Structure 1
Amino acid sequence: MIGFWIAAAGLSAAVAALVLRGAARGLTPAGDDPALAVHRRQLSEIDDLAERGLLAEGELKAARAEAGRRLLAAADQSAAWPREGLGPRRVTVIAAAAAPLLALGLYVVVGAPGAPDQPFARRVAEWKAGDASLLDPPRIVAILEQAARTETDNPELYRNLAIARMAGGDAIGAAEALRKAVRLAPQRAELWTALGEAFVTSEEGQVGADARTAFTEALKRDPENLSARYHLAKGEIADGRLEAGLAGWRAVLADLPADDPRRPVLAAEIDRTAQAGRLVDAVPQQAAAGEVTPDMIQGMVEGLAQRLAAAPDDPEGWVRLVRAYAVLGDAARRDAALKAASERFADQPRVLAALRQAADTPPAQTLNVPKSNAR
């Protein structure tokens, strides 16, 4: 391999020298050389003498032939390389030719030309052998994708791959992995639910046709599935069937445990939707432009909690939610969100550490936001 690079560097240097030498010759016009100007002037003077009748025909031919010969000789001499010193053209060409050779020599001295390539598969193996809690989502995805090439019949593997892709912000990739999971284990309601949630996330909260199909399949296998019921009711409201959708949401709210952090979020969403008669954003639209009010902050936090209720496999989102409740001084919701997230990510020490750190964030004394016990 090193021999190939030496040959390539030499060839590059030779080609650069030839190209730049030709370019250097062509850059300077012929008339710039004073010697050529002298011989051209002599030819002009001979023609002038002939026109005035001062040269016979034979003398004119001989004089013009001699002047032309001298002009050609001078032109050849000016095109040749200067023999005295290194002119700017020669320096340029030498530098261009020497650059590849110098670069190669520096690489041989400083670099490691004999080191073998590090294939991607080897890097994935190193990540897999290390501490999984220190890996970011893209590396976890790479490990799981490599495993999926051999374990093509493992639905749990595809579920974990979907979680990792979702954590990395790739909702479409998560849905693709979950499609494979439900094909392998169509009887598992939680896989259909996760597939529907991935579709909702990829469609920015909209419950589209694919999501509704997935949630319907989940309900066939688990009629009490809260996420599927919530999203199908949301689809009813989006289609204009307000009362039917609100009835579905109220039934979900009644089935949620008393300490479930999703209860206040869903209750607030039901109130907003009933008042507006349609689906509305969690952030109050009447807030003054550029003004951040306590109600606006509360609305943004509720919006984040609502999104996590729809797509809970988002560790960074849970960390932000726990921190937000801590900043707001809402200890009850903070602890409930911390508990729910810790149970979901119990096998990810890095996420658990981030959650604990977020829960320890001191509250902001300037915010006057109603707490969960005010309801």
Structure 2
Amino acid sequence: MDFIDLKSQYAALRDNINTRIQRVLDHGQYILGPEVREMEEALVAYTGAKHCISVASGTEALLIALMALDIQPGEEVITTPFTFAATAEMIVLAGGVPVFVDIEPDTANIDVSLIEAAITPSTRAIMPVSLYGQVADMDAINTIAARHGVAVIEDAAQSFGASYKQRKSCNLSTFGCTSFFPSKPLGCYGDGGAIFTSDDRLAQACREIRTHGQSQRYLHTRLGVGGRMDTLQCAVVLGKLDRFEWEIRRRLELGDAYRAKLQAAIPALQLLAVRGDRDCVWAQYTVFVDDRDAVQARLKEAGVPTAVHYPRPLHHQPAYAKYGSADACPLSVAAAARVMSLPMSADLTNEQQDRVVAAVAQALN
């Protein structure tokens, strides 16, 4: 089986996607064609945010949001070390300094109770990561941010479609930044991403930054990047939107089924907690295991693919070690040694899931 089944998804959406792509090939507007605005408007309607600015990737979304805030050299952005490198990478590329705060041991999301102690006069933003598809406690984070006059950027690369207190991920803070990488809950067929905000001024800054800082053609009013999302990739996203609500429901169902089946088969297995005021769209269905390498090897022999998201926290990565001592954030270190992701996508069948659960039970025994 595939770790993420994109082939079955395409088979179900072939006509929609092919029609959308052909329309772009016919009109030939490959950069900022009409599908770009159409997709942005559709995602505004979906999230409830006032503005959607499509960009070249989820990584680019983070960078442009930071640039729109005019982060200055040496200014600090509080985030978690238990995430993909792009989170801290963009802070550093924008001139900022990542300040790492540890995670909750049961959700693997940033521990909000530790954030305020990390704020200094140099803090400009807080960047929580909605890891594995579950949003962090954004109301509490926003309250802290408002008290100290700093912005909040939700790194929502894994959580598009998730809900928090009846509100959508990407419409919970100053900025929401998501990714349309093919494996994400809403993916295109290459790189793509989007920035969401309800602040008119920041939205305009993001639009200018993504086109080399132009406020109009050949008038460069600010430093920018070449950060546009291709029209063809927007067409792919549009082709997937008709089925997206079903896919989110299916992900929620599969997540609940995984929990019930794994708890029944392996009562001692540690699963990720999902808080009662939010859901998780399971960009990765992740569990905690000991002796992970051996467990993965046994599952591979059984034909069950696995992955690790992520095997080393950022403050243990050579590029970011100077931003935190090696003994900091011990819960992130512990999680990195034990997390293991199982096959997950909306097209995972119940039979395939049963096979995964049986293989995990056998591997752990």
Normalising by the smaller structure, the TM-score range is: under 0.3
Structure exhibiting the larger radius of gyration computed from Cα positions: 1
Q: Which has the larger share of strand?
A: 2
Q: Which has the larger share of helix?
A: 1
By relative contact order (CA 8 Å, sep 6+), the higher-ranking structure is 2
